[in-house]
Amino acid sequence: MIPVLNEEESLRELHRQISESAATNDITCEIIFVDDGSRDGSWKIIQDLSEEDDRVFGIRFRKNFGKAAALTAGLNCVRGDYVMTMDADLQDDPAEIPNFFAKLEEGYDVVNGWKQRRLDPWHKVYPSKVFNWMVGRLSGLHLHDHNCGLKLFKAQVGRELTLYGELHRFIPVMAHARGFRVSEVPVHHRARQFGYSKYGVKRFTRG
């Protein structure tokens, strides 16, 4: 499940990488793109992909409602037993997907990614470190990277969570509070190939 905001350059390559990972690891999946009010050609590419690949399903917002709303819309359409979320900018690596399932099979309900070496500018990295420390201190759930977009969780978890505003940042915490078992796995964070972080810019303007 992939929220999309003005990522037309990345979508075809992301689809290719997801398809390759699924084929290599014998994973049956659907690929849900949620266009969160993009103003570029993202929606046209999603439409084209859905015509070319019957695993691809697209949802379109006429305006930008934010990542939490996009994830909620996607969760309402999920038909499988597990949900994997990732960002559309190619910084998350679909080749990591098997590692998440391996950790889930150890008895966890939610597996969160941990970008050990984050390839982002300092003005994104430092606030993230502070955020992770504060969330761990307040919630009792100590993860290195609460806000990592790469997550795997059982569909049951998604059905019990209500996401709005900025609550997508707290999926592991909300699941933990409901008694679900949460863990994390290190992931390879890749440098952004195209453009800039659209969700990030909006977040900073809100403070």
CA separation for the pair 57, 44 (Å, rounded): 13
- How buried is residue 11: exposed, middle or buried, by Cβ count under 10 Å (0-12/13-18/19+)? buried
Rg (CA), the chain: 16
The per-residue pLDDT of the chain, averaged, comes to 89
Q: Give the tokens for residue 81.
A: 């037993």
Neighbour count for residue 64 (Cβ, 10 Å): 18
pLDDT, tens digit (0-9, with 9 covering 90-100), for 19-58: 999 999 999 999 999 999 999 999 999 999 999 999 999 9
Homologous superfamily of 2-206: Spore Coat Polysaccharide Biosynthesis Protein SpsA; Chain A (3.90.550.10)
Among 51, 41, 32, 53, CA closest to 10: 41
Strands (E), 89-170: 110-115, 151-154
Residue 65 pLDDT more than 60? yes
Which of 27-41, 55-69, 99-113, 190-204 is predicted with the least confidence, judged by mean pLDDT?
Answer: 190-204
CA separation for the pair 120, 123 (Å, rounded): 8
Length of the chain in terms of residues written: 207
Contact present, 45 and 31 (Cβ < 8 Å): no
DSSP 77: T
Q: Does 44 or 140 have the greater pLDDT score?
A: 44
pLDDT, tens digit (0-9, with 9 covering 90-100), for 162-194: 887 788 888 999 999 999 999 999 998 887 766
Q: Does 118 or 70 have the greater pLDDT score?
A: 70
Q: Domain locations in the chain?
A: 2-206
